[in-house]
C-alpha cells in the first residue's frame, strides 16, 4: 500500500493515492503523527519515522539527500545535484528540481529546505507561502532570501 504525506495545495498529492485508499491507524502512522506534533510545536524531532519511498532510483537518491538537510538550514538544488551526480560534468539541476517536487512525504522529507543557488525561495509544490511558514517555524530568517515577484 502506498503512503504519502502532503499539503492539500500540493499539485502532485494524488499521484500515489490508490483508488481504493482507506483511512486508518498503525504504528507507522502513529510515529509520523508524533513527529509532526513535535515539528509543529517548533521542536526538532529527534527521530525519523520509518519511510517507504516510492519512486525512481534517481528520485530516491534526491529524497535521501533531502533527508540530510539539517533542521533549521537550507541547501540548493545545485548542491543536491552535486551530491547525487558526484563530479559529473553535467549536473542534473532541473531533474533534481523535478524529483524534489515529486516528494510524496512532505515535511518529513524536507523539500521546503531547498532554495535556488541565487537565494530565491522557489519551487515548492505546496505553495511558496507554506514554504516560508515552514522555514520560519524552523527559525530560518527568510529576509536573506529573494521572494518571488508575485508573492504578496
Q: What CATH number is associated with residue 89?
A: 1.10.10.10
State the cell numbers at 34.
508524533
Domain with 62, as residue range(s), is 27-144
Reported as a single tens digit per residue, the pLDDT across 32-44 is 999 999 999 999 9
Give CA torsion, residues 5, 117, 85, 57, to 10 deg. Answer: 10
The active-site residue out of 74, 109, 111, 121 is 111
111 tagged catalytic: yes
Q: Residue 5 domain-assigned?
A: no
This prediction has a pTM of 0.82
Report the number of secondary-structure helices (H) and strands (E) in the chain. 5, 2
Q: Residue 3 domain-assigned?
A: no
Q: Residue 149 domain-assigned?
A: no
Reported as a single tens digit per residue, the pLDDT across 76-92 is 999 999 999 876 667 78
Total domains, the chain: 1
Amino acid at each position: 500500500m502506498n503512503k504519502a504525506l502532503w499539503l492539500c495545495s500540493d499539485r502532485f498529492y494524488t499521484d500515489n493515492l490508490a483508488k481504493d485508499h482507506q483511512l486508518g491507524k498503525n504504528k507507522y502512522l502513529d510515529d509520523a503523527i508524533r513527529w509532526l506534533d513535535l515539528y509543529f510545536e517548533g521542536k526538532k524531532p529527534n527521530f525519523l519515522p520509518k519511510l517507504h519511498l516510492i519512486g525512481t532510483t534517481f528520485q530516491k537518491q534526491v529524497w535521501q539527500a533531502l533527508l540530510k538537510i539539517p533542521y533549521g538550514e537550507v541547501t540548493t538544488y545545485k548542491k543536491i545535484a552535486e551530491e547525487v551526480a558526484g563530479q559529473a560534468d553535467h549536473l542534473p539541476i532541473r531533474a533534481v528540481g523535478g524529483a524534489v517536487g515529486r516528494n510524496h512525504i512532505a515535511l518529513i522529507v524536507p523539500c521546503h529546505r531547498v532554495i535556488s543557488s541565487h537565494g530565491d525561495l522557489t519551487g515548492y509544490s505546496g505553495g511558496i507561502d507554506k514554504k516560508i511558514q515552514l522555514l520560519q517555524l524552523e527559525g530560518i530568517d527568510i529576509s536573506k532570501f529573494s521572494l518571488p515577484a508575485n508573492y504578496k
